[in-house]
Structure 1
Amino acid sequence: MPSGLATLLALAAAPASFAGSATPPKPLRSYQHLWTDAQGISHIARCPVSNFFLKSMSPPAGPQWQDPMPPRTATMMMTVQPAHWNGAWHPDPRPQWIVPLKGRWWVRAMDGTRVEMGPGDILFGEDQNVQPMRDGPYKGKKGHDAGNVGDGEVTLLVIQSDAAPVTNQPCRYH
């Protein structure tokens, strides 16, 4: 079963080594998944990440909790959104992991769900297969809306995957 790149990013919050002979408890982390349903509407779900195993990434370094994804080609970039940045309504250009490094930003799905994220939070944006809303407060909009929280700029780590987007599978990485 595939597991999440989100987990690899979450390892920053997990202990890199431990003292003593007892195995530390298995961690539980989470990410936000911006996903598209079969009708082309975007949603945001909070998803658990729990398929960790304890192993050294490079002996003799101590063991750390890992939950790797199958290898893919990806583009990594750092972005800096200027103060008061407004993302307007748009779908993500491709499936992508977004990790805020500095500042806070928000994302709102077509179903009205809105989340705010700060340093260390993780979002998997997979809303490429959306269709414009036919009615309601977001009529004609598609994808998601986003913007900065507060008066500062926001720095994000973005990892764009070459994988095709998947529809109607919230929380598919765990």
Structure 2
Amino acid sequence: MSMRKTLMFAALLILPGMTAQAARPPTTPAPAILPDTTQPTPPQRLYRHLWADDKGVSHITTCPVHDFFLKSMSPPAGPQWQDPMAPQMATIMMTVQPAHWNGTWHPDPKPQWIIPLQGRWYVRAMDGTRVEMGPGDILLGEDQAVRPMAKGPFRGKKGHDAGNVGDGPVTLMVIQSEAAPVTNQPCRYN
């Protein structure tokens, strides 16, 4: 074996052990990556989106809201988590659905945010998805582009079915937007 080949062979046997030693001395541990604890963790919140697909069928999807940032709304008040939407014209109203209210099948009149304040109610989409909501839950109703179902258990129905759960009235905060509805985009506010 030539001298050159012998040295290369010896280097292959010795270097693997040496490279581990040379890369990091045993007395110096690798620095640990720690999370940044100086900034609070933004909250995670959910809303339900009642939306219409391009075939005119309504669906309900659970969506995250996660673009929060800390900012004071009116200094010197302390900062609070915010995730603002684009400015738009809207009508804000409070509604009270009487006990045993039944909304039967209908589309929402406009894109609208619905937040139950008291009581529980349900919404069922044309695809059969049904959700119940109570105080603090949020629904974006955006099923204006629906068409009557051609077949299936909801044949001839369009939009969504809704009603109260239980024996009492349901109080809702409703924010109706003047913005045009958007189809085929579940969770578009996240």
Match 1:81 to one of 86, 97, 105 = 97
Residue matched to 2:107: 91
Aligned letter for 1:78?
M
Distance 2:130 2:86 in 1: 30
Q: What value does the CA root-mean-square deviation take over the aligned residues? A: 0.9
Match 2:121 to one of 99, 105, 112 = 105
Matched, 1:40 2:60: no
Residue matched to 1:140: 156
Which runs of no fewer than 5 residues in structure 2 stay unpaired? 1-36
Distance 1:112 1:119 in 2: 23
Matched, 1:131 2:131: no
Q: Deviations over 1:106-149 (max 9, x none)?
A: 00000000000000000000000000000000000000000000
Q: Deviations over 1:64-102 (max 9, x none)?
A: 010001110000000000000000000000000000000
Aligned letter for 2:101?
W
State the TM-score, normalized to the length of structure 2.
Answer: 0.80
Distance 2:79 2:45 in 1: 18
Residue matched to 2:170: 154
Distance 1:98 1:152 in 2: 18
Match 1:121 to one of 137, 141, 146 = 137
Give 1 or 2 for the bigger CA radius of gyration: 2
- Deviation >3 Å, runs of 4+: none
Structure holding more helix per residue? 2
Which of the pair has the greater relative contact order for Cα pairs under 8 Å at 6+ separation? 1
In percent, how many aligned pairs have the same letter?
77
State the TM-score, normalized to the length of structure 1.
Answer: 0.87
